[in-house]
């Protein structure tokens, strides 16, 4: 059954009555009165200027691990290329006027590319990926744009930041910890291989090269993994420091809100003006209503229903307290029926906005009210 047919049949045969949501700062933010957390706009602006959370330790550790792994994987290729290069130059070392030909320069460049390009390429991609992981894709030239304020020396602030700040203390402690941990790691690895190292004088030269290179590779790889683990703490510190540097004073916060959200005083006046206009327009619709449901003193809701143009009764006006009294006055002046129903008035006021049709759960009770109103009007009786 369609809603139009439901309302037509309901009003013809009434049903029984129903039941019833800035630049990087040099020292602590509190020293400058900046105690407020940065806004989303401040964070977005800092990102656009290249001021982002990033740990250099993470990138360095990742480059070290990937770089040494690439050298280990490409060791055979690199050794063969190196031997080929040595053989090439030694064979041509006795040729006449070797320095006058362009062949030598071309060969030097070619061998250099063959030896360096694989490692440099892997390291470059690793550095790029490590920054993308931390920062995401970001392109800006702000950090390299000339700025006279950064050229003028400010030794007091510089020394305070470099020597007497939390950042300086953390960096110093971080460096000491790294040196100690890498030294312990190297000591343990060398101590484990000490018997073999002591016997190198008795063994073949290439065996010694293999032992020392494998030992060095293991120390570097383990140190890289250890530094990668330490970079997590560094990243957390850099993140906290970044938030501290972007903190705002109460005045800055007020100015930003005023700039991007408008003056609160002007906005309140505009809201009040809009409320007055909406109230006037709303009250003009009361004389056209079919019924006004009241609380009776707190709420008033005007309902209108046109069977040919509406699916269900629509709220054309509603108000509380003074506006509710005004709606009732206009309704009485224009002979619009005023029905007292406290639960219904409270529910309609809270759930239905002006211009919306009533929910389906109110169909029966509103249909009964309208049917009774039409019946009394047809009998020539006054409905209040």
Place of tokens 């590779």: 217
pLDDT at 262: 61
User: What CATH number is associated with residue 285?
Assistant: 3.40.1690.10
Answer whether residue 103 is part of any domain. yes
Q: What is the pLDDT of residue 378?
A: 62
**DSSP states of 280-310:** HHHHHTGGG-SEEEE-SSSEEEEEE--TTT-
**Rounded to an integer, what distance in angstroms lies between the CA atom of residue 238 and that of residue 135?**
12
pLDDT at 8: 45
Task: Tell me: do 166 and 272 sit in the same domain.
Answer: no
Same domain? For 239 and 312 the reply is: no
* Residue 364: per-residue pLDDT: 86
Is residue 29 one of the residues assigned to a domain? no
- One digit per residue, pLDDT tens: the chain, 384 residues? 454 444 445 444 444 443 333 344 444 555 556 777 777 777 777 777 777 888 888 888 899 999 999 988 888 898 899 998 888 888 777 765 555 555 677 888 888 898 899 999 999 999 888 888 887 777 766 666 666 666 665 656 655 665 667 777 788 888 898 899 999 999 999 999 888 888 888 878 878 888 888 898 899 999 999 988 888 888 888 888 888 888 887 787 777 777 766 666 767 777 777 777 767 777 887 888 888 888 877 888 888 888 778 888 888 888 888 888 888 888 888 888 888 888 888 888 888 888 888 888 888 888 888 888 887 776 444 444
Q: Taking the CB of residue 342, how many other CB atoms lie within 10 A of it?
A: 15
Range of the domain at 119: 53-245
pLDDT attached to residue 251:
80
Instruction: Say whether both 232 and 269 belong to one domain.
Output: no
Domain count, the chain: 2
User: Residue 33: inside a domain, yes or no?
Assistant: no
pTM of the model: 0.52
In this structure, the answer to whether residues 237 and 271 fall within a common structural domain is no
- Residues 13, 57 share a domain: no
d(CA 131, CA 304): 63
Strand 291-294: give its sheet, edge to edge: 314-320, 299-304, 291-294, 338-340
Q: How high is the pLDDT of residue 183?
A: 92
Domain match, 127 and 271 both: no
**89 and 197 housed in the same domain:** yes
Tell whether 208 and 59 lie within a shared domain: yes
Does residue 371 contact residue 305 with C-beta atoms inside 8 Å?
no
**Number of helices followed by number of strands (H, E) in the chain:** 15, 4
Residue linked to tokens 């040196």: 179
Q: Is the domain of 274 the same as that of 224?
A: no
Helix (H, G, I), strand (E, B) or coil at 312: coil
Q: CA 304 to CA 320: how far, in whole Å?
A: 19
Residues 162, 283 within the same domain = no
Residues 14 and 141 reside in one and the same domain: no
| Polymer length of the chain | 384
Res 184: pLDDT: 92
Considering the domain boundaries, does residue 47 fall inside one? no
């Amino acid at each position: 059954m369609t809603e139009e047919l439901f309302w037509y049949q309901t009003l013809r045969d009434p049903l029984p009555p129903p039941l019833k949501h800035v630049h990087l700062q040099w020292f602590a933010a509190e020293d400058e009165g900046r105690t407020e957390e940065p806004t989303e706009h401040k964070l977005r602006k800092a990102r656009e200027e290249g001021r982002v959370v990033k740990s250099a330790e993470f990138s360095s550790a990742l480059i070290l691990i990937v770089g040494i792994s690439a050298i280990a994987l490409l060791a055979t290729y690199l050794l063969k290329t190196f031997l080929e290069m040595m053989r090439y130059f030694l064979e041509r070392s006795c040729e006449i006027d070797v320095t006058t030909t362009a062949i030598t320069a071309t060969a030097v460049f070619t061998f250099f590319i063959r030896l360096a390009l694989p490692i440099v390429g892997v390291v470059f991609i690793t550095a790029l990926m490590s920054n993308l992981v931390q920062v995401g894709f970001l392109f800006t030239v702000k950090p390299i744009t000339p700025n006279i304020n950064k050229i003028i020396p400010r030794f007091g602030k510089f020394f305070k930041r470099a020597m007497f700040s939390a950042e300086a203390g953390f960096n110093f402690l971080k460096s000491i910890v790294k040196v100690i941990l890498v030294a312990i790691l190297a000591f343990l690895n060398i101590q484990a291989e000490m018997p073999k190292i002591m016997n190198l004088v008795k063994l073949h030269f290439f065996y010694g090269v293999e032992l020392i290179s494998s030992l060095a590779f293991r120390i570097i790889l383990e140190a890289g993994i250890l530094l990668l683990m330490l970079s997590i703490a560094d990243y957390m510190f850099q993140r906290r420091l970044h938030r501290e540097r972007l903190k705002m004073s109460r005045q800055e916060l007020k100015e930003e809100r005023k700039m991007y959200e408008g003056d609160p005083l002007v906005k309140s006046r505009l809201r009040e003006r809009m409320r007055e206009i909406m109230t006037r327009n709303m009250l003009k619709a009361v004389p056209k209503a079919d019924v006004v449901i009241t609380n009776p003193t707190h709420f008033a809701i005007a309902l209108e229903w046109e069977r040919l143009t509406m699916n269900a009764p629509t709220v054309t006006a509603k108000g509380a307290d003074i506006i509710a009294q005004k709606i009732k006055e206009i309704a009485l002046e224009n002979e619009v029926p005023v029905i007292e129903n406290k639960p219904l008035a409270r529910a309609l006021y809270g759930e239905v906005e002006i211009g919306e049709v009533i929910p389906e759960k109110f169909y029966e009770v509103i249909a009964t009210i309208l049917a009774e109103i039409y019946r009394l009007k047809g009998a020539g009786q006054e409905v209040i």
